[in-house]
C-alpha cells in the first residue's frame, strides 16, 4: 500500500483550458516534447500536432475533440487533456473538467482574459477544479503581463499571484525571473522554437524591479495565508519555502491563482510551467473523495486501490479497431478481463482491453488503478456520463450534464440507398457527443440534427461525409426558440373526469401561473410549488401534478417550442375516494397547464450571444452598422494597438453568415468570437414574422 500511495502522490490529472487561439495546443505540444513523450515539436500551422490528430482539426487549425496524452516530468506522471477553445465545443470541456483534478488556464499576453477564457474558468469553478495560469505569447507586440494579470483579477474574480517577471519585452523576450528563488531563467535562441535554458542571477538592470515584485507577491500571499502572514509580520519578509507551501494551499483552496508567463511557440517558459504543475496542482490524494449515490444514500469513495472499483466514463469514440470508452478511475483497481457493472444500462460487461491513451495512439496495459485515466475496449452500452463499478458495490456518480442545443439543421441522404447508413451515422455521433441531438420533425418528417452552433453542426456533417462516405444534403440552420409567460393567470380550474367502464379517473386542480422573476431563475427554469391546505390534495398527487406540468412544458401554445421561465402554484384541488389516482392527477396537471398557457400572455424567447469583434480602426464604423442591422446591442469597445475591440449582444439567428460578412467589411482583417449569453425576448415585430412563417 505504501508504494501505491507514493504512486498516487506522483500523479497529476490536468487539463489545458483557454480561449481559441490562445496557444493551448502549442503548450501541450511543447510539454510532450520537453518530457520526451515526442521527439519532434508538433506545430498547429503545419498540421503535425499530436493532440489535434483529426483531419478536420488539422484542416481548420483548431481543437475540436478533447484528447488525452500522458508524460513524465521530474518523476511525476502527468495525464493531460487538451480541450477545445471554441464555444461550439464547450461540452467537450465540461466532460473533461468533470474528471480532472487540476488545470492550466492559458491566456494571450495581448488580449488577456477573452470571452471563452472566462466561460471555461466559470466551468472550472463549478467543478471545483484548482488552476494555475500561464500567460502565453509574451513575444508578441503589445504583450503585457501586468495587464493580463489585471484582467484575471477583474474578469475572473480571483487574486492573481504573479510568481515571475519577463526578461525582455515583445520580440526581445528571452526568459523570466523566478521571484520565489530570485533567479533568472534565460533561453538561448535556436531557430523559431527556442533553445536550452540557462539559470543565473537576476540581471543588475532588473534586480530592483524584481525585488519590488517579490515584495508585492509576499504581501498578496500574506493577506490570504495565515502561516505566510505570521512570518511576514515577524520579519517583513516571507521565505521561498513558506511562499511555495502557501501558494500550493491557495491554489488547492481556489483563493488565489499562480500566474506564470512565457512563449510556448518559442519554447520559453514551459519548463517552469511543468515545475509549477508538480508543485501546486493536486494529486488524486489531494482532492476530496468522490461522492456517489446508491439507493438514495450518499456514498464516498477515496482514491484507494484497495477500495471497491468505481470509474466514470467521460468519452466514447468509435475507432477502426472498435469502440473505446475513456474512463477516470476514482477508486479500486481494474484488470483486463474484469466484469464491471454499467449502472446506466443496469447490466454487467467484461473489459476486453485496457489502454494507455496518447491521443490517437494506444498502448495496452494489464491494470488501471485509482487516479488513472485510461480507455477500455469491449463495453457495448457505456455512454459519456456512465458510472462503472464493481458488481458487488454499486454506485452512481454524478454525470456531466449536456448543454441544450441552440441551432438545428435538417439533414437527409442525397441517395435513398444511403438513408439507413445516415441513420446509423447520426446515432453514432449522438452517442459520442451528447450535445448533438437527433430527432424527427413530426410535421415534415425530416431528420433534424441539433447542436451548439454552426461550426458544431458543420463538423458533425463533415464527419458523416468523411468517415461514413454518405453524401448528405443539409438545410438552412435554425435556432432553438423557446416560449415564456409574460402575463400570468390565476385560479384556473381544471377537472379531469373519465368514465369508460371499470375504474374511472377523477382529478380536480386549481393552478396559478406567473412569470418567474429574474431573481429566482433564468431561461431554462421552471418552479412548481403547492399552496394546498387541509390535505385536500395528498402529497403523492401533488408530485403527480408537478410531473404533468413538466410534461406540458415540451410544447408551448405559440409555435410548439419548449416553455420556460414560469412558476406554477397548485392552490386547491379535490379528489374522489375511488377514481382519483396519480395517473389522473398527472393528466390534470398536463392538460390544466396547457389550458392556462393558452389563457396567459406568452412570448417568444431567442438565444443570444455575446460577440467580441476585433477590427481595424478604419473599419469600425462599418462593423458597428452591421451589428446594429443584426439587432445587436453594443455594450463596450476598447482600443488596442491599431485595432478596436467591440463587444455586443446579438441574437444567434442574426449571426448566420457573419464570418464572411465581417471579412468583407474589414478586408479580411477582422475576427470575432462568440459565447452564449442566455435567452432574450423576441421583439414583437420579429415575433409576428416568425410565427407567420
Q: What is the CATH number of the domain that holds 7?
A: 3.40.50.300
Read out DSSP for 553-595? TTS-TTTSPPEESEEEEEEEEE--TTT--HHHHHHHHHHHHHH
Residues 20 and 155 grouped into a single domain: yes
The runs of H, that is alpha helices, within 157-302 are 204-224, 226-235, 240-253, 270-280
- Return the pLDDT at 360: 62
Domain membership of residue 474 as a residue range: 407-478
Give the CATH number of the domain where residue 651 resides: 3.30.70.240
Give the Cα-Cα-Cα angle 339, 340, 346 (nearest 5 degrees): 125
Continuous H helices in 338-496: 419-432, 454-468
Separation of alpha carbons 515 and 552, rounded Å: 16
Instruction: Please list the residues that pair with 676 across neighbouring strands.
Output: 609
Alpha-carbon distance 385 to 401, whole Å? 8
- Whether 418 and 494 map to the same domain: the answer is no
DSSP 8-state code for residue 653: G
Distance CA 192, CA 266 (A): 6
If we measure between CA atoms, which residue out of 217, 290, 273, 274 comes closest to residue 250? Answer: 217
676-to-86, 116, 239, 378, 403 alpha-carbon distances in Å: 12, 10, 45, 37, 11
Nearest-angstrom CA–CA distance, 34 and 269:
11
Query: In terms of domains, do 142 and 225 share one?
Result: yes
Asked whether residue 583 is assigned to any structural domain, the reply reads yes
- State whether 72 and 159 are in the same domain: yes
Does 499 lie in the same domain as 460?
Answer: no
Listed residues 478, 511, 530: the one ending a domain? 478
Which residue matches cell numbers 461550426? 455
Residue 25: the pLDDT is 84
Q: Are residues 545 and 460 in the same domain?
A: no
Count of domains observed in the chain: 5
212 and 95 co-located in one domain: yes
Q: Are residues 127 and 218 in the same domain?
A: yes
Task: Say if residue 229 is in the same domain as residue 305.
Answer: no
User: Taking the alpha carbons of 17, 18, 21, 23 in that order, is the dihedral positive or negative?
Assistant: negative
Q: Are residues 34 and 180 in the same domain?
A: yes
pTM for this entry: 0.79
Residue 629 lies in a domain: yes
DSSP string, 467-533: HH---EEE---EE--EEEEEE-EEEEEEEEEE-SSSS-EEEEEEEEEEEPPTTT--TT-EEEEE---
Out of 397, 423, 445, pick the residue that ends a domain: 397
Among candidate residues 436, 456, 478, the one where a domain is terminated: 478
Region of 319 (left: φ > 0; alpha: ψ -120 to 50; beta: rest) is beta
Long-range pairs of 471-474 with CB within 8 A, sequence gap ≥ 24 = 471/413, 471/414, 471/415, 471/418, 472/411, 472/412, 472/413, 472/414, 472/422, 473/411, 473/412, 473/413, 473/414, 474/409, 474/410, 474/411
What Cα–Cα distance (Å) separates residue 468 from each residue in 153, 226, 360, 429? 47, 60, 19, 11
- The CA-based diameter of the chain, rounded to the nearest angstrom, is 98
Q: What is the pLDDT of residue 519?
A: 43
Q: Would you state the pLDDT for residue 61? A: 73
Could you tell me the CATH number of the domain that includes residue 473?
A: 3.30.70.870
Residues 566 and 642 in one domain: no
Do 474 and 487 share a domain, yes or no?
no
Cβ–Cβ under 8 Å, residues 14 and 103: yes
Nearest C-alpha neighbor of 472 from the set 523, 555, 409, 538: 409
SS3 content of the chain, % helix, strand, coil (to 5): 30, 35, 35
Mean pLDDT, each 10-residue run in order, the chain (693 residues) = 60 88 86 82 61 70 78 90 80 87 93 85 89 95 94 93 95 94 86 69 94 95 94 89 96 95 93 95 91 87 90 84 86 92 87 80 85 88 89 89 85 88 90 88 82 88 88 88 92 89 86 77 74 91 95 92 93 91 95 95 92 88 92 88 87 87 84 84 89 77
Amino acid at each position: 500500500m505504501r508504494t501505491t500511495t507514493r504512486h498516487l502522490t506522483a500523479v497529476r490529472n490536468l487539463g489545458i483550458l483557454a480561449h481559441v487561439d490562445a496557444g493551448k495546443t502549442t503548450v501541450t505540444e511543447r510539454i510532450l516534447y520537453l518530457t520526451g513523450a515526442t521527439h519532434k515539436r508538433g506545430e498547429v500551422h503545419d498540421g503535425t500536432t499530436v493532440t489535434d490528430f483529426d483531419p478536420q482539426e488539422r484542416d481548420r487549425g483548431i481543437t475540436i475533440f478533447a484528447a488525452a496524452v500522458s508524460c513524465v516530468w521530474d518523476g511525476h506522471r502527468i495525464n493531460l487533456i487538451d480541450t477545445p477553445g471554441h464555444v461550439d465545443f464547450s461540452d467537450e470541456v465540461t466532460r473533461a473538467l468533470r474528471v480532472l483534478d487540476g488545470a492550466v488556464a492559458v491566456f494571450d499576453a495581448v488580449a488577456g482574459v477573452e470571452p471563452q477564457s472566462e466561460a471555461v474558468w466559470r466551468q472550472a469553478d463549478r467543478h471545483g477544479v484548482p488552476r494555475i495560469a500561464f500567460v502565453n505569447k509574451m513575444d508578441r507586440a503589445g504583450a503585457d503581463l501586468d495587464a493580463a494579470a489585471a484582467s484575471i483579477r477583474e474578469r475572473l474574480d480571483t487574486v492573481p499571484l504573479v510568481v515571475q517577471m519577463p526578461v525582455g519585452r515583445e520580440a526581445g523576450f528571452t526568459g523570466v525571473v523566478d521571484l520565489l528563488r530570485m533567479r533568472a531563467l534565460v533561453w538561448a535562441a535556436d531557430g523559431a522554437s527556442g533553445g536550452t535554458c540557462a539559470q543565473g542571477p537576476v540581471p543588475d538592470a532588473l534586480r530592483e524591479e524584481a525585488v519590488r515584485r517579490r515584495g508585492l507577491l509576499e504581501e498578496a500571499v500574506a493577506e490570504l495565508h495565515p502561516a505566510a502572514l505570521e512570518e511576514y509580520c515577524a520579519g517583513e519578509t516571507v521565505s521561498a519555502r513558506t511562499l511555495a507551501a502557501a501558494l500550493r494551499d491557495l491554489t488547492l483552496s481556489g483563493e488565489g491563482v499562480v500566474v506564470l508567463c512565457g512563449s510556448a511557440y518559442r519554447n520559453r517558459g514551459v519548463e517552469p510551467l511543468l515545475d509549477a504543475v508538480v508543485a501546486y496542482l493536486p494529486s488524486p490524494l489531494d482532492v476530496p473523495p468522490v461522492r456517489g449515490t446508491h439507493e438514495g444514500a450518499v456514498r464516498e469513495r477515496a482514491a484507494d486501490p484497495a477500495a471497491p472499483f468505481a470509474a466514470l466514463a467521460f468519452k466514447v469514440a468509435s475507432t477502426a479497431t472498435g469502440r473505446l470508452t475513456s474512463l477516470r478511475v476514482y477508486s479500486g483497481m481494474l484488470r483486463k478481463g474484469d466484469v464491471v457493472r454499467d449502472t446506466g444500462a443496469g447490466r454487467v460487461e467484461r473489459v476486453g482491453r485496457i489502454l494507455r491513451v496518447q491521443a490517437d495512439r494506444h498502448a495496452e496495459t494489464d491494470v488501471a488503478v485509482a487516479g488513472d485515466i485510461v480507455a477500455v475496449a469491449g463495453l457495448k452500452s457505456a455512454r459519456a456520463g456512465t458510472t462503472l463499478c464493481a458488481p458487488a458495490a454499486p454506485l452512481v456518480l454524478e454525470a456531466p450534464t449536456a448543454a441544450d442545443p441552440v441551432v438545428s439543421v435538417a439533414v437527409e441522404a442525397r441517395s435513398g440507398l444511403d438513408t439507413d447508413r445516415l441513420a446509423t451515422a447520426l446515432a453514432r455521433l449522438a452517442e459520442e457527443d451528447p450535445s448533438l441531438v437527433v430527432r424527427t420533425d413530426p410535421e415534415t418528417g425530416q431528420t433534424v440534427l441539433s447542436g451548439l452552433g454552426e461550426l458544431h453542426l458543420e463538423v458533425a456533417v463533415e464527419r458523416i461525409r468523411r468517415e461514413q462516405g454518405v453524401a448528405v444534403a443539409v438545410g438552412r440552420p435554425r435556432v432553438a426558440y423557446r416560449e415564456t409567460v409574460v402575463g400570468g393567470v390565476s385560479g384556473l380550474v381544471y377537472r379531469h373526469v373519465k368514465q369508460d367502464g371499470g375504474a374511472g379517473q377523477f382529478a380536480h386542480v386549481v393552478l396559478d401561473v406567473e412569470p418567474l422573476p429574474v431573481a429566482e431563475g433564468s431561461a431554462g427554469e421552471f418552479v412548481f410549488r403547492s399552496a394546498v391546505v387541509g390535505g385536500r390534495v395528498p402529497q403523492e398527487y401533488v408530485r403527480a401534478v408537478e410531473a404533468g406540468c413538466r410534461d406540458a412544458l415540451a410544447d408551448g401554445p405559440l409555435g410548439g417550442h419548449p416553455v420556460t421561465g414560469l412558476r406554477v402554484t397548485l392552490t386547491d384541488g379535490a379528489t374522489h375516494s375511488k377514481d382519483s389516482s396519480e395517473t389522473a392527477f398527472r393528466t390534470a396537471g398536463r392538460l390544466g397547464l396547457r389550458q392556462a398557457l393558452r389563457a396567459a400572455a406568452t412570448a417568444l424567447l431567442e438565444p443570444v450571444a455575446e460577440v467580441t469583434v476585433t477590427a481595424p480602426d478604419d473599419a469600425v464604423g462599418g462593423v458597428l452598422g452591421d451589428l446594429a442591422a443584426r439587432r445587436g446591442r453594443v455594450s463596450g469597445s476598447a482600443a488596442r494597438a491599431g485595432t478596436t475591440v467591440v463587444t455586443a449582444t446579438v441574437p444567434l439567428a442574426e449571426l448566420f453568415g457573419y464570418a464572411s460578412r465581417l471579412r468583407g467589411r474589414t478586408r479580411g482583417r477582422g475576427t470575432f468570437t462568440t459565447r452564449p449569453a442566455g435567452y432574450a425576448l423576441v421583439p414583437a415585430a420579429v415575433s409576428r414574422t416568425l410565427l407567420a412563417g
